[in-house]
Amino acid sequence: MGYTLCIIKPDAVSKGYTGKIMDDCIQAGFVIHGIRKVQLTEDQAKSFYKVHEHKPFFRPLIEFMTSGPSVALVLEKEDAVDAFRDIIGKTDAREAEEGSIRHKYGEDNRRNAVHGSDSPENAKKEIAFFFANIDLI
Ligand code: UDP
């Protein structure tokens, strides 16, 4: 079985989409293996998105990700990373496929409702960023 990290981002949490997104994950065959509501600090957000630190959108991304609570989920499914990226759709919610999570709940290329890990190696690191072993089933 594979695992991936999903973050329901502050835009979606503040609009009340947490339950709908979790249900979409379950209906798509993912098992929720761990769950935590978190308020990212500036340092945590910068560390999580370190790979983007030299991009022009880094500052506004950090402001967005620290603007309110997020919900982190560990999702389990065969080929979880690719399967989850398939159901979330493209980064820019305006270009995401109809029916995808970002299309349904996101707004644009920053406020796009969810994060999904982009490789099994990064999924492992990102899960460890948010969860201790004791938090996982
Ligand atoms: N992002 C942004 N502006 C951009 C591109 C990305 O604010 O022009 C944000 C967006 O929230 C995205 C995150 O930065 O989800 C990480 O970008 P990445 O290219 O890794 O996209 P993802 O893997 O999340 O689809």
The CATH number given to 2-135 is 3.30.70.141
Kind plus residue range of the DSSP H or E element containing 18: helix 18-27
At 57-109, the pLDDT tens digits run 999 999 999 999 999 999 999 999 999 999 999 999 999 999 999 999 999 99
Q: What was the ipTM of the complex prediction?
A: 0.98
CA-closest residue to ligand 1 atom 10: 110
Residue 34 has what pLDDT?
Answer: 97
CA-closest residue to ligand 1 atom 22: 91
**How much helix, strand and coil, in percent to the nearest 5, is found in the chain?**
45, 20, 35
* Minimum-distance ligand 1 atom for the alpha carbon of 9: 11
Q: In angstroms, what is the span from residue 136 Cα to ligand 1's centroid?
A: 27
* Minimum-distance ligand 1 atom for the alpha carbon of 88: 25
Q: What is the dihedral of CA 127, 50, 83, 101, to 10 degrees?
A: 100
Residue 137 has pLDDT above 90, yes or no: no
Overall pTM surpassing 0.90 (yes/no): yes
Residue 121 has pLDDT above 90, yes or no: yes
At 3-57, the pLDDT tens digits run 999 999 999 999 999 999 999 999 999 999 999 999 999 999 999 999 999 999 9
Characterize 106-116 residue by residue with b for buried, 16 or more Cβ atoms within 10 angstroms of its Cβ, and e for exposed: beeebbbbbbb
70 lines ligand 1 (CB under 6 A): no
Side chain identity at residue 82, one-letter code: D
Percent share of the chain, pLDDT over 90: 96
